[in-house]
Amino acid sequence: MNRILLLLTSSLASSIPAQVAAGDIAVTGFSTSAFGVISAGPTVTGYTTGGFQGTGTATSQAILWDRAHPNDFLVGGFGFIGRASITGPGSVVYAPVTNGVGVVSQMTQDDAGQIVFADSGTNQVRRLDPVSGVVTELSTGAQPWGSSLSSGAWDPLTGDTVLGGSGEIYRLADGATTGTLVVGGLGGFVSAIAFDPVTGEILATVLTANRLVRVSAGGAVSDVAPPFSIPGPNALAIDGNGDLVTGGGTGQVYRVPRAGGAPVFLASNTSPANAVNGLSVAGAGGYGIPFGASCSATSGPATLIATGPFAVGSTVSTTSGNHAANSLGILVLGLDRTNYLGLPLPFLLDPVFGTASCYLNVSLDVTFGGVTGASSPAELTFSFVLPPSFAGQHFYAQHACLEPVPGLLSWSNGLAFFVP
């Protein structure tokens, strides 16, 4: 049986043990030994270590759920990154991973499970192997952010790292050693970076301007929440539903709808009761982000999007638009976006089918049939549940539709999925 079919039909147990539940929010607050976890209710549980064992003040600045060890959070700050393993309510075992860092201002995990972090002490982007403790340099030399590096996150779609500085956002391209400017004029230090799990757009908190913003692919900046509705936003993460979790002030943590709107207060961290400077959501990190080109359906581009949550047990839907009504459509699921049977992807389909600027964006591993809606222009939608066997997996999707266009086929853009 094809591997992707095995993944779809498997019924293995959940990958998150009971000590840390999916949706728990870990929060740091300028402490030398403690952090808090906000769970349903919301209830705040404090976890106190014997000390983070860094250098100087050894104050925490960042926290990250480790998907490879679902009961663990990595804590980073002045001169340290360490592992905090939750063993029960209020009970934690802490061990340092490395002291070979400056000031860890934000951490994210890449596809290989390595920790990419912004080091505000060296003003460089660095990578940590969480098993060996080895730190390597991703950026080197003079950088456009100068001495103001304040945040950074690894972009799951491109492999780039997006960084924040004083009023500006930068991109360090995958494999490059020097960053480039994305957008400026944000009005204050960019204190945290995240990515929209549906569009892939950059999301950021701007501390001194009291803003939570979205940056489009074209560089346009818009407010996700009303300015000043979140006091001193200093941390940002995405939850399992794709909504934004942010915090600041004197410990307040808020949830903001992915589409934007007023923040909803969740809780104030009490471990310690201090300004939030880092947070992370357990079980989160899934996405379904568009990539590649689409070609024309009968009423416009066959644009494909996904809706989640992108988590085990949730129903994912893929929807493309602008199709002819009552037409046969196909969902393609693949395990590769770069190669199919020796053909490099994307592969131009025009010489094969007579289509107009259409591409195969994903490998043709499994296909499912469906029919577009009765109204025109019509949508083509497929829905499926993500089984536990998809945990930790990447896969890709694309739609094709039989309709009156050149070659009688429209092909959508691709979607890149990850299930944490």
pLDDT confidence of residue 11: 41
> pLDDT at residue 385 above 50?
yes
pLDDT (tens digit, 9 = 90+) per residue, 21-71? 999 999 999 999 999 999 988 899 999 999 999 988 899 999 999 999 999
Mean pLDDT of all residues in 67-87: 97
Q: Name the 3-class secondary structure at 317.
A: strand
pLDDT band at 12 (very low <50, low <70, confident <90, very high): very low
Q: Is the pLDDT of residue 1 over 80?
A: no
DSSP secondary structure, 146-212, as one string: TT---EEEE-TTT--EEEE-BS-EEEE-TT-SS-EEEE---SSBEEEEEE-TTT--EEEEETTTTEE
> Shortest CA distance to 80 belongs to which of 19, 23, 121?
121
327-377 pLDDT tens trace: 999 999 999 999 999 999 999 999 999 999 999 999 999 999 999 999 999
pLDDT exceeds 80 at position 4: no
Whether residue 14 is predicted with pLDDT greater than 80 in this model: the reply is no
Residues counted in the chain: 420
Lowest-pLDDT choice from 15-29, 168-182, 293-307: 15-29
pLDDT of the residue at 7 = 58
Proportion of the chain above pLDDT 90, given as a percent: 90
Q: Which residues contact 319 (CB under 8 A, 6 or more apart)?
A: 304, 305, 306, 307, 379, 380, 381
Would the pLDDT of 286 be above 60?
yes
CB within 8 Å of 342: residues ≥ 6 apart: none
Among 18-22, 100-104, 178-182, the range scoring the smallest mean pLDDT is 18-22
HEC readout, 245-279? EEEECCCEEEEECCCCCCCEEEEECCCCCCCCCEE
Dihedral sign of CA atoms 283, 284, 288, 292 in order: negative
Position 2 pLDDT exceeds 70? no
- Rounded mean pLDDT of the chain? 94
